[in-house]
Structure 1
């Protein structure tokens, strides 16, 4: 069972945290998927990098399984976040467009009526994100927010997005990228500690969601 972390080079809020994550020890080059998507391996985590918009690569979980024979148990996307407020924010959210009807055209990926299973780590990771952001002095400048689902790409495994918002100034912030990288590093137990939010039915850790707002915003 492996965990996919997905980043894109065309989004600074995606590739910058990925680079910070890859700068930590233990990573090894992995196979190339579809001749264009690079991968790196660290324990049971696979970091994938592609060159398209983050919502444009559907079915990465199934494609990875078909190419490698490794079963994917969750997917985590790194991305930018946009909001009309332009307020700096760090957000987590599930994905899907279940509100769209057949025949509607999803403006930001996915397919009408579809939603990926929510990644059960989201609750405990909101708490961890708040803790790490505080330790890096990003609070109160950055809002820590649980966001509503509103885009793709299509997956079938438990999935979540982790985003940096809300303008290019913040998408490129090194301290924000470091916070997201550390969230993934600690949250998946890559640093040697236990994973946060172990969500097997035998070891499920139950945490309340960190109080947050639902932003009326969109993926950029």
Structure 2
């Protein structure tokens, strides 16, 4: 089983960390899987460089195994981050577009009604990223943050994105690239040890946070995730929970109903999180202040119907 780190030459915030990572010891040429792709090997880690948009290369994990015979255990994408605020940031997040229905456009890749298994390293690596950023003088200039689940590409194994934001000035920053490379080096255990954020049988029964509600940077879920030992699954912001006002729509029998793809988004994200954390207990954490009363009641009722436990902050540590 190998870890697949994916970068694209088309993105300075992707190729920068990849180059810094490759400057560390132990790398050798890796197998070739297609024209326009180059790979490198270091222990059980493989770094794959391609030339297309980072969200345009679907099924890289399956394609790697088909070409090399090596099963992929996890995928880590290196990418840029954009934000209206233009604030410099280092971010980490799972991927998927579980709220998009069949036939709807896919502006950032993925597949309708899909969420990839979140990489169990998301929470532990957020905390490690902060330590590395502090040690390398990036804080307070750079914000260290989670992002909500929000784009592709399609991947079938536990996956996460590591991103540098939020403008061209910062995408090419060497100190930010070096921080991401150090995160990969230490987090994957290439410098010795077993790495950071490995989920194993020893974690059976541990609680895993499924974030529901809030803005794109999920601040109330972040308050919990900063605590050591907290595991993180999918994070569904408000825009991934489209809910139609029940006063504007009625069901077949005249009863009020709440339309939208919110149920689909929650169910798909819950199932993907369960898949990524075998033996773990996935618990929903709601950003209550981000919902109107009818929305909160509807979500709570749905979670109860689906036998998804709802937790308080203290349930995760």
Q: CA-atom RMSD, angstroms?
A: 2.1
Over alpha carbons, which structure has the higher Rg? Answer: 2
- The aligned counterpart of 2:198 is 198
Alignment of 1:210 onto 2:226: yes
Question: Within 2, Cα distance between the matches of 1:92 and 1:45?
Answer: 19
Q: State the shift of 1:100 in Å.
A: 0.4
- Tell me how many residue pairs correspond in the alignment: 216
1:107-145 deviation digits (Å, cap 9, x = unpaired) = 011011111000001111011000000001111110001
Q: Give the structure with the larger helix fraction.
A: 2
TM-score norm. by structure 2 comes to 0.65
Secondary structure in 1 matching 2:202: coil
1:27-64 deviation digits (Å, cap 9, x = unpaired) = 00011112221110000000000000111110000000
- The aligned counterpart of 2:172 is 172
Q: Which structure would you say has the larger RCO, counting Cα contacts within 8 Å and 6 or more residues apart?
A: 1
In structure 1, list runs of 5 or more residues that go unmatched.
none
Question: Within 2, Cα distance between the matches of 1:200 and 1:36?
Answer: 36
Q: State the shift of 1:206 in Å.
A: 8.1
Secondary structure in 1 matching 2:65: helix
In structure 2, list runs of 5 or more residues that go unmatched.
209-223, 228-235, 240-317
- The aligned counterpart of 1:162 is 162
Alignment of 1:103 onto 2:103: yes
TM-score norm. by structure 1 comes to 0.93
For the 8 Å contact 1:127–1:210, the answer to whether it is kept is yes
Runs of at least 4 residues of structure 1 off by over 3 A?
202-208, 214-217
Secondary structure in 1 matching 2:115: coil
Q: 1:97 to 1:66 in 2, by over 3 A?
A: same
Q: State the shift of 1:215 in Å.
A: 9.0
